[in-house]
């Protein structure tokens, strides 16, 4: 008569579980042992900072240290002529007083404006907004290290509100460009000189991409952000 060993599968299952638990214990790091036989605590391993979109960082100082030296302040001056009093243009009035009258256009105080830009080549090429330097008679660029230099306009594109200017300095810090596929929710840092108080950094996120039909420029494909941008940040 053949006997049935109904308990055999249970024994095999228990052996498998015991073997698995024993293997797990072998995989755990063992605490180092001092020469006198006293156990020492296992070495603590610090986790790496997660820089992926799913993780967060406590500080953006490393990114600012890389980008800020390549961000410049742009000061522009425009000479504005203001039309004099209409009486000065009267032929009879001018005939009576002759050359003693001033020119029909008097010189008014200069108009000054402020913006920002980014160095894109170490030999002095700077990218900024066209409205920052449009109709300017003088453009002065201030670097983060305190140096200043006059700039000349290389080219402009009013349709995209972009302009390139150049200063006669070399070996300048450059901010590299990268097509990163911006996504809503990504962190954004805005570096500039708002209100002329000095270089500042504000932080926000991308609120929307592909903004168009705003009536601002001919070509529109804007990234919307909630990072604080004030007068002087343009560029």
**pLDDT one digit per residue (tens) for the chain, 235 residues:** 455 556 566 666 666 666 666 665 665 555 555 555 555 555 554 544 455 555 567 788 998 999 999 999 999 998 876 665 555 566 655 565 555 555 554 556 777 778 899 999 999 999 999 999 988 899 999 999 999 999 999 999 988 889 999 999 999 999 877 776 788 888 888 888 887 788 889 888 888 887 777 666 666 777 888 888 777 777 6
Residues 165, 126 contacting (CB under 8 angstroms): yes
CA atoms of 21 and 23, how far apart (whole Å) = 5
Burial 45-65 (b: 16+ CB within 10 A, else e): eeeeeeeeeeeeeeeeeeebe
- With H, G, I as helix, E, B as strand and everything else as coil, classify residue 224: strand
CA atoms of 54 and 58, how far apart (whole Å) = 14
pLDDT of residue 211: 77
What six digits make up the tokens of 98?
């002759």
Rounded to the nearest angstrom, the gap between the alpha carbon of residue 228 and the centroid of all alpha carbons in its chain is: 12
Adjacent-strand bridge partners of 190: 202
Q: What's phi and psi for 208, nearest 5 deg? A: -165, 160
pLDDT of residue 81: 67
The architecture CATH gives domain 61-225: Beta Barrel (2.40)
Domain extents in the chain: 61-225
Residues designated as active site = 131, 161, 234
Q: How many other β-carbons are positioned within 10 Å of the β-carbon of residue 43?
A: 8
Q: Which residue has the tokens 């698995």?
A: 20
pLDDT of residue 140: 95
Q: What's phi and psi for 112, nearest 5 deg? A: -110, 145
Q: What's phi and psi for 145, nearest 5 deg? A: -80, 5
Residues 226, 205 contacting (CB under 8 angstroms): yes
- Give the residue among 144, 139, 147 at the shortest CA–CA distance from 199: 144
């Amino acid at each position: 008569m053949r006997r049935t060993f109904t308990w055999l599968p249970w024994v095999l299952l228990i052996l498998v579980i015991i073997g698995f638990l024993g293997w797990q214990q072998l995989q755990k790091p063992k605490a180092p042992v001092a020469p006198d036989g006293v156990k020492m605590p296992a070495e603590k391993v610090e986790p790496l900072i997660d820089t992926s979109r799913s993780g967060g960082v406590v500080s953006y100082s490393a990114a600012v240290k890389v980008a800020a030296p390549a961000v410049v302040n742009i000061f522009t001056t425009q000479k504005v002529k203001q039309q004099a009093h209409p009486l000065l243009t009267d032929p009879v009035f001018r005939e009576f007083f002759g050359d003693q009258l001033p020119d029909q256009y008097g010189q008014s105080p200069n108009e000054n404006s402020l913006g920002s830009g980014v160095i894109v080549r170490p030999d002095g090429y700077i990218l900024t907004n066209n409205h920052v330097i449009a109709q300017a008679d003088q453009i002065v660029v201030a670097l983060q290290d305190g140096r200043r230099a006059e700039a000349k306009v290389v080219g402009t594109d009013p349709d995209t509100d972009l302009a390139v200017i150049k200063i006669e300095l070399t070996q300048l810090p450059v901010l590299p460009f990268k097509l990163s596929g911006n996504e809503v929710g990504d962190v954004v840092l805005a570096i500039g000189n708002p209100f002329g108080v000095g270089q500042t950094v504000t932080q926000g996120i991308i609120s929307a991409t592909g903004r168009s039909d705003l009536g601002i420029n001919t070509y529109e494909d804007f990234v919307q952000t909630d990072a604080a941008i004030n007068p002087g940040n343009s560029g």
